[in-house]
């Protein structure tokens, strides 16, 4: 310890003064150094200067200052220093060699904080080079140096944050952040400069800017590191996303509302189904017991009238079922289960179940399909419902002749298609009716004149189901020539 040195000058000096040995260990540390770097003399003495003020990663630079000063007797350097709170600052260092005991040399460094000077100087240099370019950009642009000072902010940035012209220059960039983010931001910032990389807009978290008047607004920020002659900097483009955040929030609220409305609709459908069926149970049930003659014999007129009641009650039930199915399709509640289906077998079963109905009217029911099995990936239940509907309609509206079901796989196009057609020798459908045939509650002339009853929803439902399966349902017909309904399903 060079105790014969007079230290009084050290204590008084406004600059930071530190005395180091050749290994860079602090021997002495004055009040100026305490003020400038935040470490007390007790903390500093005996500690290596690397661990105190050297910016991590630039230890070699510090070693160089020591080596050069030792070699030449004196030296002047510019460096970035770190305070104990992590803040960076620019200093100008002048070093010289002093002599303690005859064989003891030590180094004396005097360091002056030149951050503001350097910020002003670098800012001017950037202004002259980039001002015009930056003002031409649509986003707010702020260029910040490693000490966190704004070197240049374009007009859009000034407007965005509510500052007057040139008012942002040389301010700490943290002034643009709400208080609660500032400390964390300082950490991010020094971290960023040690490993700078480009970060795109929107790649960050929810960020907020702070206007001069104290109001906050949501922002999106992109970061690009730049090397200028003077100093490495980071350029950030800042965008006010208040409007978009507003939209996003409104959209989210709307979605929740829709979800709730959908659930209410489901509950309503389930209750409606239940409430409509309950009284129908009594109507259909007791009509049945009477027709079964459980309470006693009926005359023929009583039987006829009860049958009318029963048919109409069943019609009402069919209507309720169709309406609920339709409501479910409209609400997107129909769950489809696409799986390889033996469509030939399926159509065969349906034909077998409807054949008695056809035979009772004296109609022939013909099924024509290739010998090999027609296996096609589709939803079995939806396909059945369509086919039952089409064949049921054909039987209902045809008075003489036949109903014919043709099915085939068509692989002539790019994709294999399943084609099913139901042809009848019924009265046919006029052009005008054909146009609105698939709309709800539209029934052909035949049903009105011949007293044939349908719900008026069957074709409408069938077409909706066909669309759900990704296919189409169409009809060709003319009065007097019968009708052909064709279902075409593409391979899913």
Partner 1 sequence: MAARILIAEDHPASLELLRYLLAANGYDILSAEDGEAALDLARRDRPDLIICDLQMPKKNGYEVVRQLKSEPVLAAIPVVAVTAFSMIGDREQVLAAGFDGYLSKPIEPEQFVALIEQYLPPSLRQQHGGQ
**Interface contacts to partner 1, rule CB under 8 A:** 269-270, 273-275, 277-286, 288-289, 292, 294, 313, 317, 324, 328, 335
The answer to whether 477 touches 434, Cβ cutoff 8 Å, is yes
**CA-based nearest residue to 225, from 199, 191, 204:** 199
For 245-305, the DSSP string reads: HHHHHHHHHHHHHHHHHHHHHHHHHHHHHHHHHHHHHHHHHHHHHHHTTSS----HHHHHH
Supply the minimum distance, in Å, between the C-beta of residue 324 and partner 1: 7
Supply the minimum distance, in Å, between the C-beta of residue 312 and partner 1: 13
Output 329 or 484, the one with its CB closest to partner 1: 329
Supply the minimum distance, in Å, between the C-beta of residue 309 and partner 1: 13
Q: Would you state the structure tokens that stand for residue 69, as one six-digit string?
A: 């000063």
The answer to whether 240 touches 160, Cβ cutoff 8 Å, is yes
Question: Rounded to the nearest 5 degrees, what angle is found at the Cα of 117, between the Cα atoms of 116 and 120?
Answer: 85
CA-CA distance, 16 to 12, in Å (whole number)?
10
Output 121 or 328, the one with its CB closest to partner 1: 328
Output 207 or 291, the one with its CB closest to partner 1: 291
Supply the minimum distance, in Å, between the C-beta of residue 289 and partner 1: 5
Output 76 or 337, the one with its CB closest to partner 1: 337
Output 329 or 367, the one with its CB closest to partner 1: 329
Output 116 or 305, the one with its CB closest to partner 1: 305
Total Cβ atoms within 10 A of residue 335? 8
The answer to whether 112 touches 172, Cβ cutoff 8 Å, is no
User: Look-up: residue for tokens 């609220």?
Assistant: 253
CA-CA distance, 167 to 450, in Å (whole number)?
89
Q: How many helices (H) and strands (E) does the chain have?
A: 14, 17
For 382-445, the DSSP string reads: HHHHHHHHHHHHHHHH--SSEEEEEEEEE-SSSS-EEEEEEEE-S----HHHHHTTTSTT---H
Output 317 or 419, the one with its CB closest to partner 1: 317
Supply the minimum distance, in Å, between the C-beta of residue 335 and partner 1: 8
User: Look-up: residue for tokens 């027709």?
Assistant: 291
Output 183 or 289, the one with its CB closest to partner 1: 289
Q: At what angle do helices 343-360 and 380-397 cross, to 10 degrees?
A: 20
Supply the minimum distance, in Å, between the C-beta of residue 286 and partner 1: 6
Output 184 or 264, the one with its CB closest to partner 1: 264
Supply the minimum distance, in Å, between the C-beta of residue 352 and partner 1: 19
Output 337 or 481, the one with its CB closest to partner 1: 337
Radius of gyration of the chain (CA): 44
CA distances to 55, 190, 256 from 86, in Å: 9, 8, 45
Supply the minimum distance, in Å, between the C-beta of residue 337 and partner 1: 12
CA-CA distance, 137 to 331, in Å (whole number)?
47
Supply the minimum distance, in Å, between the C-beta of residue 329 and partner 1: 12
């Amino acid at each position: 310890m060079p105790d014969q040195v007079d230290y009084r000058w050290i204590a008084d000096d406004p600059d930071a003064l530190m005395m180091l040995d050749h290994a860079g260990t602090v021997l002495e540390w004055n009040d100026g150094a305490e003020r400038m770097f935040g470490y007390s003399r007790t903390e500093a003495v005996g500690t290596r200067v690397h661990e105190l003020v050297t910016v991590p990663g630039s230890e070699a630079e510090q070693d160089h200052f020591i080596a050069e000063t030792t070699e030449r007797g004196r030296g002047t350097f510019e460096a970035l220093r770190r305070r104990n709170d992590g803040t960076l600052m620019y200093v100008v260092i002048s070093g010289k060699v002093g002599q303690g005991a005859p064989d003891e040399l030590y180094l004396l460094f005097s360091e002056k904080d030149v951050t503001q000077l350097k910020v002003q100087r670098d800012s001017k240099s950037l202004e002259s080079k980039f001002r015009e370019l930056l003002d031409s950009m649509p986003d707010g642009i702020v260029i910040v140096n490693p000490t966190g000072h704004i070197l240049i902010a374009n007009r859009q940035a000034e407007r965005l944050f509510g500052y007057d012209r040139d008012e942002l220059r040389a301010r700490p960039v943290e002034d643009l952040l709400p208080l609660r983010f500032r400390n964390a931001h300082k950490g991010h910032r020094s971290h960023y400069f040690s490993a700078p990389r480009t970060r795109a807009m929107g790649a960050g978290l929810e960020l907020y800017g702070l206007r001069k008047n104290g109001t906050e607004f949501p922002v999106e920020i992109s970061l690009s590191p730049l090397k200028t002659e003077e100093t490495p900097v980071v350029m950030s483009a800042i965008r006010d996303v208040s409007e978009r955040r507003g939209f996003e929030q409104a959209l989210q609220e709307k979605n929740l509302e829709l979800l709730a409305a959908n659930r209410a609709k489901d509950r309503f459908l389930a209750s409606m189904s239940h409430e409509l069926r309950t009284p129908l149970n009594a109507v259909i049930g007791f009509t049945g017991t009477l027709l079964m003659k459980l309470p006693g014999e009926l005359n023929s007129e009583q039987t006829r009238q009860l049958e009318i009641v029963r048919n109409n009650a069943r019609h009402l039930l069919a209507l309720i079922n169709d309406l609920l199915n339709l409501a479910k399709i409209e609400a997107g509640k129909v769950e489809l289960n696409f799986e390889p289906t033996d469509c030939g077998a399926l159509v065969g079963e349906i034909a077998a179940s409807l054949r008695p109905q056809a035979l009772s009217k004296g109609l022939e029911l013909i099924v024509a399909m290739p010998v090999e099995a027609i296996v096609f990936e589709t939803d079995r239940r939806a396909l059945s419902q369509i086919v039952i509907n089409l064949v049921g309609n054909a039987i209902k509206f045809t008075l003489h002749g036949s109903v014919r079901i043709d099915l085939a796989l068509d692989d002539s196009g790019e994709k294999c298609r399943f084609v099913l057609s139901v042809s009848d020798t019924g009265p046919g459908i006029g052009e005008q009716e054909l146009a609105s045939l698939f709309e709800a509650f539209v029934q052909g002339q035949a049903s009105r004149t011949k007293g044939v009853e349908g719900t008026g929803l069957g074709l409408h439902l069938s077409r909706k189901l066909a669309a759900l399966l990704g296919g189409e349902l169409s009809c060709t017909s003319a009065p007097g020539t019968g009708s052909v309904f064709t279902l075409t399903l593409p391979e899913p």
